[in-house]
Amino acid sequence: MDFFRIHQRFAPEHIADLPAAVRQSLNASGVVVARNADVAIAVGSRGIAGLAQIVAETVRWVRDHGANPFIVPAMGSHGGATAEGQVAVLAGYGITEERMGAPIRSSMEVVSLPQGESPVAVFCDRLASGADATIVINRIKPHTSFHGRYESGLMKMMAIGLGKHRQALAVHAMGIEGLKNAMPLVAAQVLRHANILLGIAVVENAYDEPLHVRAIPAALIPREEPALLELARRHMPRLPLEKIDILVVDEMGKNISGLGMDTNVIGRLKVRGQPEPESPDIRMIIARDLTEETRGNAAGVGLADVITRRLFSRIDFPATYENVLTTGFLERARLPIIAESDRAALEIAFRAAGMPAPGQARVIRIRNTLRLGDMLVSKAALDAMAGCPDVELVGAVPALFAADGNMIPF
């Protein structure tokens, strides 16, 4: 079966000097840090492009005001819902005390805040709450489980991230209703009663590069975040075909997406009671491996139909189950068929897809759902892309598999 390498073009705009952009935005925010103040910098579990640079520049900016920065993990149930595990998640992104020049203080303990109009109790990280101010850093992007005015971003970070495991349990216990409607009310209470100073919002382009960064004073976050969400939506990467027989995903993990693979890209939700997206329509999905950064957390593995023995052997089941049990969407952790090699995985997918001849199958292989610029495609998929102005043929692929039956890196 012949495969070809293609390049998919997206809008190329990006930030060339990320630390300078962060510094400029912080200075332009009009926010002043009190001298000698203890300032918590809340950092989550997403693999944001240039995250370590953003955090390091924020630390420097706080110190330049004569204040005392420290870093707190703000990531709900991730890292196995343990203080040590969440520090390890940050370290996987290069965020350590030595590199950032600031201490990292991690705890799963929370304090209660007034509930107000929130339908659930409201919590905030004890260490951040005890500081004089908190700066929240997060990427703004469409969520993998729901769509609304606020999705993945600063509001969600203030609610579920800073609220730690207890807040994540409380919000997710309400299902999609909790994420879509309760989460913003929780965030509003955090803004009213916690010590949020500002948020640093990051929007990425389709090449997984920083496109836009903005430091937003706390009071303006609810008003400004929706426009940034729409900017992120416009710049999301997409697959070049609406109908695909087999999608091969080289790696999945929490640093790629909260579910390992972005549901907005693959067109699968696996949330009971929620309709599946109409497109793209993918018959079979193969997931080949987990990223190092995900530290064995395979939440979202149930979105695939076939996985390799290699991926299965790297799963940290306690961490995965804690993450998925917190959300309540158990289907997303159900194990697919396990293949002993990449070649076996593709053969299983061909049979399950009911393809009369492999040469007629539209097969696409991607590195992950964040990086859709370069991919390998079958002849049938390439033919279906004929006339697409954003797809460029790079050349034929000499071989897809190595002698051991596993795919050759590309």
pLDDT value of residue 19: 98
| Among 262, 339, 168, 193, CA closest to 347 | 339
pLDDT value of residue 317: 97
| Among 253, 227, 243, CA closest to 368 | 253
Q: What does pTM read for this prediction?
A: 0.90
Give yes or no for residue 70 having a pLDDT over 90.
Answer: yes
- Domain-by-domain residue ranges, the chain? 3-11+237-396, 31-234
pLDDT tens digits for range 15-66: 999 999 999 999 999 999 999 999 999 999 888 999 999 999 999 999 999 9
pLDDT tens digits for range 320-355: 999 999 988 999 999 999 999 999 999 999 999 987
Residue 235 to residue 407: CA distance in whole angstroms: 30
pLDDT tens digits for range 349-367: 999 998 778 788 999 999 9
- pLDDT-based confidence at 220, cuts 50/70/90? very high
**Cα separation of the two ends of the chain:** 17
Alpha helices in 108-220 (DSSP H): 126-129, 154-156, 164-172, 176-177, 183-193
pLDDT value of residue 250: 98
CATH of 31-234, one of 3.10.400.10, 3.40.50.11440, 2.30.29.30, 3.20.20.100: 3.40.50.11440
Residue 309 to residue 243: CA distance in whole angstroms: 27
Counting DSSP H helices and E strands in the chain, the numbers are 15, 15
Residue 86 to residue 83: CA distance in whole angstroms: 5
Q: For residue 407, what is the DSSP state?
A: B
- pLDDT-based confidence at 101, cuts 50/70/90? very high
| Among 143, 91, 137, 158, CA closest to 258 | 143
Strand, coil or helix: 364: strand
**Residue 337 backbone class (left: φ over 0; alpha: ψ -120 to 50; beta: rest):** beta
- Are 249 and 287 in contact by the 8 Å Cβ rule? The answer is yes
Residue 343 to residue 73: CA distance in whole angstroms: 40
Residue 245: burial class (beta carbons within 10 Å; 0-12, 13-18, 19+): buried
Residue 10 to residue 251: CA distance in whole angstroms: 21
- Are 107 and 83 in contact by the 8 Å Cβ rule? The answer is yes
What is the separation of C-alpha 114 from the centre of its chain, rounded to a whole number of angstroms? Answer: 30
Q: Which amino acid is at 363?
A: V
pLDDT value of residue 239: 97
* Contacts of residue 351, Cβ cutoff 8 Å, sequence gap at least 6: none
Joined together, the tokens standing for residue 152 give 């993945």
Residue 159 to residue 139: CA distance in whole angstroms: 15
Joined together, the tokens standing for residue 131 give 């500081």
- Edge-first strand order for the sheet with 196-204 is 68-73, 38-43, 133-139, 196-204, 210-217
Whose structure tokens read 């992104």?
Answer: 93
- Report DSSP letters for 243-257, one per residue: EEEEEEES-B-TTT-
- Are 213 and 250 in contact by the 8 Å Cβ rule? The answer is no
